[in-house]
Amino acid sequence: MKKLRIATRRSRLALVQTQWVADAVRRVDPSIEIEEIHVSTEGDRVTDKPLYQIGGKGLFVSEVEAYVARGEADVAVHSLKDVPGDQEPAPGLGLLCFPAREDPHDVLLTRDGVDLMSLEAGARVGTTSLRRASQLRAHRPDLAFDTLRGNVETRLRRLDEGDFDAIVLAAAGLRRLDLLDSRPHVRLPTEVCLPAVGQGTLALEGRLDDEALRALLAPLEDPTTRLVTEAERAYLTHLQGSCRVPIAGHARLLEGARLSMVGLVGDVDGERLLRASSDIYLRGRDAATRIEEARALGLEVAEALIERGARELMREAEAAVRRREKLN
């Protein structure tokens, strides 16, 4: 393979992530020529509405994916948390590679570094995520959660200018942009804010039958990230939740080949949060068997939530969001 065409969104974070992939590929094959194809997606263009009102996070994925489907790019770079669990790749395409996961946690950023419980009552907190708002409301129902869209730099600027008292962002994006350590922030523990499925993970999508591409990307694959990702996405797919429902899921590979996972479904006001967790010891001797074990764990956690009423709660949450959309 002499040339690799990489499709990506145009945001600075997406370009930094793509550059990381390009550099990693060059370490595998220094002779390869790399072309970046920058795509403006509807999710990037429409920034005055919450994502769930304009089609969900899949808006960041489908237009980039289309370049690969049409043969105009060889691989697409996605933030995995933007890839819907109920959305199959275009025919002939697949998620070929998951590089090592960055920190999956959420962080609370303020101008002075205070933590969640120290914010004053009525403080305005910016986030576009129903998942984040639902969980944080459960701990601080007296805070005001407002929509905050735009790229990372835009969101940080609005915090600095006083539009918000605090904002919540993914640690992974801030680390990749080298912005986290220079900012007052508090890393939110999973007990307070369980991450989104796939948060912190990059997904490289390409043609399933492109053997040269698969061989080129194989050294970038991280086996641990593959296992936790397969568990989380099996969980999300089985729940059949939409972008209008607060859903979280986080898997970890612990010592002794123990794979642990926690899942959460909530209502939009944070008044009711359902949690379920489980773990297994991976017994498979080959990668394919261990992946199937990981998927089975994700299904088990999803089923536990369903037994506790998750499907009904998801219907109620979606109806509540749709009512709010009509009012707005």
- The single residue listed with the structure tokens 């998927």 is 295
- Spatial separation of the C-alpha atoms in residues 180 and 170, rounded to whole Å: 10
Q: Which of 41, 91, 92, 35 is nearest to 62 (CA)?
A: 41
- The single residue listed with the structure tokens 């040339």 is 3
Contact 262, 197 (CB under 8 A): no
Q: What is the DSSP string of 157-213?
A: HHHHTTS-SEEEEEHHHHHHTT-STTS-EEEPPTTTSPPPTTTT-EEEEEETT-HHH
The active-site residue out of 44, 74, 82, 267 is 82
Structure tokens at 98: 């998951």
Cα distance between the two ends of the chain: 51
Q: Which of 266, 99, 235, 240 is nearest to 172 (CA)?
A: 99
Exposure string (b/e) for 112-125, b if CB count within 10 Å is 16 or more? eebebeebeeebbb
- Spatial separation of the C-alpha atoms in residues 172 and 167, rounded to whole Å: 15
- Spatial separation of the C-alpha atoms in residues 121 and 79, rounded to whole Å: 34
- Spatial separation of the C-alpha atoms in residues 83 and 86, rounded to whole Å: 9
Could you confirm whether 82 is annotated as catalytic?
yes
In three-state secondary structure terms, 175 is helix
The set of catalytic residues is: 82
